[in-house]
Amino acid sequence: MRAVVQRVSRSAVAVNGEVVSATGRGLLVLLGVGLGDTPEDARYLAQKVAHLRIFEDERGKMNLSVLDVGGEVMVVSQFTLYGDCRHGRRPSFERAAGQEEARLLYGLFMDYLKEQGVRVAAGVFGAHMQVELVNEGPVTVLLDSKKEF
């Protein structure tokens, strides 16, 4: 599984022009599920996201997690994180998981975040969404359960 994690002051997801989910301070996670990903990958990434220390403490050092600051996490499915652009000009998505497998692991990822004590909001799986965010910092990190980076 892959995740683009952004520290935000707020985020919102709209479908067909209607806001379906919104958060305040916290994280926006764009989550991609790849072929061969398992519930263990979802658990690993959820634990990493919940405890990732990318919020500043009183000294301005990134020492606090979303849990420490009482923030929320917006999770948006994004199969395009598995786009392979090495050949040609059109991405290949052969390494992205199929829709049903991805939907299951997307749900498990959010369940595992909730088990960590994180307040979770979500986009609509498989929908065409408009995602708004205000990136704080900016702070953006990439995570991969397979540690390929």
Is the pLDDT score of 108 beyond 60?
yes
Nearest to 56 by CA among 45, 69, 46: 69
pTM for the whole structure: 0.94
Backbone angles phi, psi at 108, to 5 degrees: -65, -40
| Residue 40 in tokens | 């263990």
CB 135, CB 69: distance < 8 Å: no
- Reported as type and span, the H/E element at residue 104 is helix 99-115
Q: Which of 6, 23, 55, 78 is catalytic?
A: 78
Please give the pLDDT value at position 148.
55
Angle among Cα 60, 61, 66 to the nearest 5 degrees reads 100
Q: How confident is the model at residue 17 (pLDDT cuts 50, 70, 90)?
A: very high
- Which residues 6+ apart lie within 8 Å of 85 measured at CB? 91, 92
Please give the pLDDT value at position 110.
98
Q: Which CATH architecture does the domain made up of 2-143 adopt?
A: 3-Layer(bba) Sandwich (3.50)
CB 65, CB 53: distance < 8 Å: yes
Among 15-19, 86-90, 100-104, 133-137, the least confident range: 86-90
Q: How far apart are CA 87 and CA 21, in angstroms?
A: 36
Q: For the chain, what is the mean pLDDT? A: 96
Please give the pLDDT value at position 41.
97
Please give the pLDDT value at position 149.
45
Catalytic-residue membership of 79? yes
Please give the pLDDT value at position 64.
98
Mean of pLDDT values over 117-130: 96
- Which residues 6+ apart lie within 8 Å of 145 measured at CB? 1, 2, 37, 40, 41, 42, 44, 45
Among 24-28, 88-92, 120-124, 128-132, the least confident range: 88-92
The domain locations on the chain are 2-143
Please give the pLDDT value at position 12.
98
Please write the tens of the pLDDT for every residue from 47-103.
Answer: 999 999 999 999 999 999 999 999 999 999 999 999 999 999 999 999 999 999 999
Catalytic-residue membership of 78? yes
Q: Which of 6, 23, 55, 79 is catalytic?
A: 79
Q: Which of 38, 80, 99, 130 is catalytic?
A: 80
